[in-house]
Amino acid sequence: MIPAQKAFLSGNEAVAAGVRLARPHVIAAYPITPQTTVIERLAEMVEDDSLKAEYLHVESEHSALSACIGASAVGARTFTATSSQGLLYMAECLHYASGGRFPVVMMNANRSLALPWNIYGDQRDSLSLLDCGWIQVYAEDAQESLDLIIHGYAIAEDPHVLTPFMINLDGFLITHTYELLNLPTQEDVDVFLPPFRTVNKMDLDHPMSLAFTAGPAYNQSFKQLQHQAMMSASKVIFETEERFGQLFGRHYPGLIETIHCDDAEFILVTLGSVAGTVRPVVEKLRSLGERVGLVRIRYMRPFPDTEISTALAGAKSVGVLEKDISFGYEGTVFTNVNSALMRAKVLPPRLLNFVGGLGGKDISATDIERLFLRLKSPDDGETVAFI
Amino acid sequence: MVEIRFHGRGGQGAFTAARLLGVAVTLFENRHALAFPSFGPERRGSPVLGFIRIDDQKIADRSIITRCDVVVVLDDTLLDASILNGLQRGGLLLVNTAHSELPLSVPAHVRTVLVDATALALQYLGRPIANTGMLGVLAALSEVVTLQSLLAAVRHEMKGSSAEKNAVLLEETFKASGGQIT
């Protein structure tokens, strides 16, 4: 009666469905709101044998990622999920995973950081960890979340990349919101994503050193290789999305998505689910003759500097809306966008940083209309505005 | 775009009602929906909300629902003026209650319907859980969803005797609210 592939799922359930389709060998996780239902669903799948994986109940996030690193070091495909304080508790291990070139895939439910204690969504957790050597991508909805799990393994495990992959979902707004999506079939995912093969593993027939020490003479060489691998991920991301589009019919736009930017004078740059609130506002203002546009950043690492500066080249006024603040300066996304513009010598007459949504504060369509009005108004000298 | 808010207490299935409605309109009517609970900690007995946006096209906006076309109240001990927040002119207020009057004044432009869905739930489910019953009322009194889609959704999401009992409850509340089964 209904097409087999249609489902009405939450973002967390979509992630769990994507993980099962990717056939990981090892899942290790510790529950934390709003990530919990992902690992509950995965535990149920392992229990009912619809997912043949080793599910490790660990005592902390630090151990969860450590277990994934250990399993990856024997050639296993691994998954973990966390959020907020849990991600920060993993911080040491994040560098072990990226430095060791272990392509762990992780889902992070974006959530505020204490204090004051708060379980609701903002993006300070992952954005504060941009420098840990993980690919970072921000989903807008449940369908993209599911698809990114499958992309994630293909990208992270590419021999030129071998870099761990973090998929960020806005806490509650994506993780706990139910929506219609298309589930890929196992047969198609098996074609798209072959089993993980790597030489970067413990193998008695081909012994090699892993997780070793490198002193001053060599250490920087490893870090340069890590940087090159991350930079090369951009090309692999495009190729992976192209291949995915051909097989599954869903097409993704690369590191950023642009809406009406070609002739836009006033452009809002943002990331995550709030882009969904911006979309209808842009269409409404366009229908009234306003030349407005949207840049949705999907990947924060590798950072799409050329794509962003190209999209913003003709704008009179640009606002960067983010759920983050680097206390004492500005939002981290704004810093990165500014740097991209400076590199390209693209200098819009006006650049504003809108900081909002902290601790789950709602951002409504009316708020977004106000931001566009602000972009059109005369410069008042302010750069960072809390909305 | 139709926006609906469900008021209930933790354990009464306010969010499950929103989710079932989402299943009905997306999987069985080829429409789109976003269904979400009032975010945060859940406690049995405490006031909770369920929300749903329904549209013919994909819905991008995930901000809080502030305007409602329909408000459904599962528990009449929750009735106060805040129930009416955002309810639009010509909106529909559906209240599960054994009383014949509401303890609050409702603007004349709101269509108010009182149903004792708990009594019907006790009769057909053997439990005082009125969430699916109120969906039957919604199907009878609005164009939001058809009874057929709700029945299909209940059978898609529930198993065995639970699915069949809830299907009967849906039909009975639908009929009790004037719906014609064709």
Choose among A140, A179, A364: nearest Cβ to B34. Answer: A179
Determine, for residues A2 and B35 on separate chains, whether the beta-carbon distance falls below 8 Å: no
B33: which chain A residues are within 8 Å (Cβ-Cβ)?
Answer: 8, 178-180
Residues of B in contact with A7 (CB under 8 A): 27
- Give the pLDDT confidence of B172-181 residue by residue, as tens digits: 999 999 988 8
A-B Cβ pairs (cutoff 8 Å, strict): 77
- Structural tokens at position B60: 């991008």
Cβ A178–B19 below 8 Å, yes or no? yes
In angstroms, the separation between the Cα of residue B101 and the nearest Cα of chain A is 35
- Residue A332 has a pLDDT of 98
Beta bridge partners of B52: B4, B35
Question: Residues near A7 by Cβ (< 8 Å), separated by ≥ 6?
Answer: A17, A180, A181, A182, A183, B27
Q: How far is A274 from chain B (nearest CA, A)?
A: 7
pLDDT in tens, A302-326: 999 999 999 999 999 999 999 999 9
- Report the C-alpha gap between A155 and A147 in whole angstroms: 12
Q: Are strands B32-37 and A178-182 parallel, antiparallel or unpaired?
A: antiparallel
Asked if A231 reaches chain B (Cβ–Cβ under 8 Å), the answer is: no
Q: For residue B7, is pLDDT > 90?
A: yes
State which residues of chain A have pLDDT below 70: 1-4
Q: Computed from CA positions of residues A8, A360, A145, A20, in that sequence, does the dihedral angle turn out positive or negative? A: negative
Integer Cα distance of A80 and A97 in angstroms: 12
A178 reaches B (C-beta below 8 A): yes
> Residues of A with CB below 8 A from B39's CB?
34, 120, 172, 176, 360
Whether A138 has its CB under 8 Å from any CB of chain B: the answer is no
pLDDT tops 70 at residue B16: yes
Question: Tens digit of pLDDT for each residue in B97-121?
Answer: 999 999 999 999 999 999 999 999 9
Strand-pairing partners, residue A80, are A106
pLDDT at position A3, please? 57
**What radius of gyration, in Å, describes the C-alpha atoms of chain A?**
21
Least CB–CB distance from B62: residue in A8, A34, A177: A177
Q: Do A280 and B60 touch (CB under 8 A)?
A: yes
From the list A387, A373, A242, the residue with the least C-alpha distance to A321 is A387
DSSP letter assigned to residue B102 = -
pLDDT of the residue at B157: 97
**N-terminal to C-terminal alpha carbon distance within chain B:** 27
Give tens-digit pLDDT for A120-146.
Answer: 999 999 999 999 999 999 999 999 999
Cα–Cα distance measured from residue A166 to residue A160, given in angstroms and rounded to the nearest whole number: 18
Q: Which residue from A1, A176, A274 is facing B39, i.e. has the nearest CB?
A: A176
Nearest to A242 by CA among A233, A234, A250: A250
Q: Which domains does chain A have, with CATH numbers?
A: 6-248 (3.40.50.970), 256-386 (3.40.50.920)
Q: Is the pLDDT of residue B39 over 90?
A: no
Closest Cα in chain B, distance from residue A1 (Å):
8
Question: What is the chain A residue with the closest CA to B51?
Answer: A177
B27: exposed, middle or buried (Cβ count in 10 Å: 0-12, 13-18, 19+): buried
Could you tell me if B123 and B129 are in contact, meaning their C-beta atoms sit under 8 angstroms apart?
Answer: no
CA angle A206, A211, A212 (to 5 degrees): 95
Residue B76 tokens read as 């009449």
Contact A178 B66 (CB under 8 A): no
- Interchain contact A5–B (C-beta under 8 A): no
Bridge partners of A266? A292, A317
Helix pair angle (A365-376, A274-287), 10° resolution: 60
Contact A176 B32 (CB under 8 A): no
What's the CA gap between A208 and A227, in Å, rounded? 22
Please state whether the predicted TM-score (pTM) of the whole model is above 0.95.
yes
Which overall architecture, per CATH, does domain B2-176 show?
3-Layer(aba) Sandwich (3.40)
Closest chain B residue to the Cα of A2, Cα to Cα: B27
Asked if A322 and A354 touch (Cβ cutoff 8 Å), the reply is yes
Give the pLDDT confidence score for residue A1 in this predicted structure: 47
Cβ separation A2–B28 shorter than 8 A: yes
Alpha-carbon distance B50 to A3, whole Å?
A: 27
Tally of CA atoms within 13 A in the half-sphere of A92 that contains its CB: 7
A365/B40 Cβ within 8 A: no
Cross-chain Cβ contact B22/A178 below 8 Å: yes
Task: Identify the closest residue of chain B to A3 by CA–CA distance.
Answer: B27
To the nearest whole Å, the CA of B102 is away from the closest chain A CA by 32
Per-residue b or e along A364-380, where b marks 16 or more CB atoms closer than 10 Å to that residue's CB:
ebebbeebbebbeeeee
Residue with tokens 């080249």: A313
